[in-house]
Amino acid sequence: MMKKVLFFVACLLACNSLMAEDLMVNSPNKKMRFTLHTGKTLKFSVRAFGRAAIDPTKIDLQVDGKYLGAGAKIANSSIKEHQLSETPVVPVKFETVDNHYNELTVKFKSGIQLIARAYDAGVAYRFVLDKKGSVIINNEVFDFTLPGNPKVFFPTEESLISHYERYYEVFNMKNILAGTFCSLPMLNIVAGDLHVGLTEADLFDYPHLFLESNGKGQLVSKFPHVVKATVAEKGELGDRNEIITEEADYIAKTAGKRSFPWRVFPIAEEAGDLIEGNLVYKLSTPSKIKDTSWIKPGKVAWDWWNANNLYGVDFKAGLNNETYKYYIDFAANNNIPYVILDEGWTKSTTNIKEYAKDINVEELVKYGNERGVGLILWALWGPLNEDIAGTLDLYEKWGVKGIKIDFMQRADQDMVNFYEEVAVLAAERHLLVDYHGAFKPTGMEKTYPNIVNYEGVKGLENNKWSDEVTPTHNVTLPFTRMLAGPLDYTPGAMDNAHAQNYMIRFDRPMAIGTRAHQAAMFVVYEAPLQMMADSPSNYEREQKFTSFIAQMPTTWDETKVISGEVGEHIIIARRHGNDWFLAGMTGAEGMETAVALDFLKDGQYEAEILTDGPNAEMAAIDYLLKTKSVSKADELNIKMVNGGGFAVIFHKK
């Protein structure tokens, strides 16, 4: 009898092994391998640089109440190599993008497909559905499993209602308490040196992915459900904060024939390679805007952070035409193409079709046009959502160049659709879009390149009310939040102090770190629409420094990370046209280094070099600015203090 039982068990195991199948795809350089494990459950794993990067991770899609991946049988599969050359409308990192990958496509008899891509810089996968009509997506399973007990840079969230401006807490994976959850992107360091990021791309008509610890060293998927009803929060913030009172029991209702978002894993041995990988751009849908000639990125003179604090003028500064004309004059004098009219220009925060009594937008537009400066208008998302087309028609009639939309605070399917609707309608009216109070970018800015920035970052505005924006945080962001795309950090603070001298001041804010640390942000942080956050009066007092940062471009033809460690330092070189720009930032500890200039092309360059001054360890505002002639054969000896930095502009002779 025992022999029969053993024989029966052996047959079962043999049948299961026949049903289960592993399908693999390697990157072009063979250093990345994505493996799909099929059978009773659907899982994937990743090896990178000869070792485990992601352990078997369960994935699935629940459609109309049924999980389609569990036990699904393979109909067919294929692997193809793709090599494309793309020219971005808005070159955030490169003027030409080499999109080279190997792609595995697996079709299951259940009507679902899985597509996986292996790049030299990481891997990605997505589900594809082929069903008639509309479907309900009840859930998407993603049980993120990493080898060992990796170090995790974890953007903890307290609620799914959030501005997604997070400080990256550092944990070991197995120490994250059950129920603790985060937004994306996140970063993990596996086996001491393997950097494994996670974000998402090409996300439309679908909620954002969050991850929640199960307390067992694993992170599981968490999604906002479809919102059915909300009420305004009671109190003075009721114009912008809402409470969800009713949700559906599903995460999306959508078309049955569609692709779902890419789950994106940038992977690198060197932290800086994460930045150069550019995976979100490569995985996103190309531009749907036919005529993009009107899309002009650039810098913005910003009013809100500095609370319109002008001084040395012969009028009362504030929310009035005199103040904004001064901002326009400042922008024109420094070749800054835009001025933003932030909160306060409207008759009320909910009446965004009329301007306040001391503001005349059409007069300011005319004044700006005469000086080559365009205006961008701030608006709350709720009032805009009541009449998107009508409001944008009015702004187009006034002649403004763009809109900054604020306080979205959600990442569910309907909110994602709001972002797309605004982008489409704004593009039809030749308006740029800056999403503030926003979730992270997911590549929609490639599809609609009039989207020129997103916030979704704990940036400089937090200095008005907290001490959390530290140099360590600042040099964590390039390797974490910036993996998703552009970030509206809003640099340029002129009142600089080390932590022991820092004070929280809402109306006259300052920043932690040196003046050179702030200057470096204009090269390090990717932001096609880049704010200059401080007061024109402060900038004009130090015109030498202002002229230096004002000439920094906001788009880049080439990007090369020289060195970097998450939370410790970054040194990066970028090219715009014939000129090169080099910058570095440090966290809690300073550093001295020699930077080889071999990234330069042949010939001589005049280098404008801005560094921490000799007294910057005590007085964070201290900096030096000098010029010298250099070539690619030279190197620069750089010293950065704690919370320090440097920036260099190389003009081709």
pTM given for the model? 0.96
pLDDT digits (tens, 9 = 90+) for 129-164: 999 999 999 999 999 999 999 999 999 999 999 999
pLDDT of 17 over the 70 cut: no
pLDDT at 201 (0 to 100): 98
pLDDT digits (tens, 9 = 90+) for 75-103: 999 999 999 999 999 999 999 999 999 99
pLDDT of 10 over the 80 cut: no
Name the token pair of 335. 């070749």
pLDDT at 9 (0 to 100): 39
Task: Pick the more confident residue, 234 or 5.
Answer: 234
Residue with structure tokens 């059409």?
362
pLDDT digits (tens, 9 = 90+) for 445-471: 999 999 999 999 999 999 999 999 999
pLDDT at 324 (0 to 100): 98
pLDDT at 6 (0 to 100): 40
Name the token pair of 128. 């594809």
421 pLDDT band (50/70/90 cuts)? very high
**CATH architecture label of 21-283:** Distorted Sandwich (2.70)
pLDDT at 440 (0 to 100): 98
pLDDT digits (tens, 9 = 90+) for 295-351: 999 999 999 999 999 999 999 999 999 999 999 999 999 999 999 999 999 999 999
Mean pLDDT of 604-626: 98
* Number of Cβ atoms within 10 Å of the Cβ of 587: 24
pLDDT at 19 (0 to 100): 57
pLDDT of 12 over the 80 cut: no
H/E stretch holding 447 reads helix 444-447
Percent of the chain with pLDDT over 90: 96
Name the token pair of 144. 């993120």
Instruction: Specify which residues 636 forms β-bridges with.
Output: 595
Mean pLDDT of 258-276: 97
Cα–Cα distance list, 291 to 429, 442, 449 (Å): 12, 22, 11
423 pLDDT band (50/70/90 cuts)? very high
pLDDT at 236 (0 to 100): 86
Name the token pair of 259. 């692709």
Long-range contacts of 431-434 (CB under 8 A, 24+ apart): 431/392, 431/395, 431/396, 431/400, 431/401, 431/402, 431/403, 432/295, 432/296, 432/376, 432/401, 432/402, 432/403, 432/529, 433/402, 433/403, 433/405, 434/376, 434/402, 434/403, 434/404, 434/405, 434/488, 434/529
pLDDT digits (tens, 9 = 90+) for 576-603: 999 999 999 999 999 999 999 999 999 9
pLDDT at 20 (0 to 100): 74
Long-range contacts of 110-115 (CB under 8 A, 24+ apart): 110/68, 110/69, 110/72, 110/73, 111/68, 112/61, 112/63, 112/68, 112/69, 112/72, 114/36, 114/42, 114/69, 115/259
Mean pLDDT of 609-616: 98
DSSP three-state, residue 272: helix
185 pLDDT band (50/70/90 cuts)? very high
pLDDT of 442 over the 90 cut: yes
Q: Domain limits of the chain? A: 21-283, 298-652
29 pLDDT band (50/70/90 cuts)? very high
Mean pLDDT of 55-61: 98
Pick from 92, 95, 118: nearest CA to 28: 118
Residue with structure tokens 């050179």?
516
pLDDT of 8 over the 90 cut: no
Mean pLDDT of 546-563: 98
**Catalytic residue list:** 406, 461
pLDDT at 192 (0 to 100): 84
pLDDT digits (tens, 9 = 90+) for 100-123: 999 999 999 999 999 999 999 999
pLDDT at 18 (0 to 100): 40
Mean pLDDT of the chain: 96
- Strand pairing class (43-48; 591-596): unpaired
Q: Which fold has domain 298-652?
A: TIM Barrel (3.20.20)
- Rounded Cα distance between 442 and 209, Å, is 11
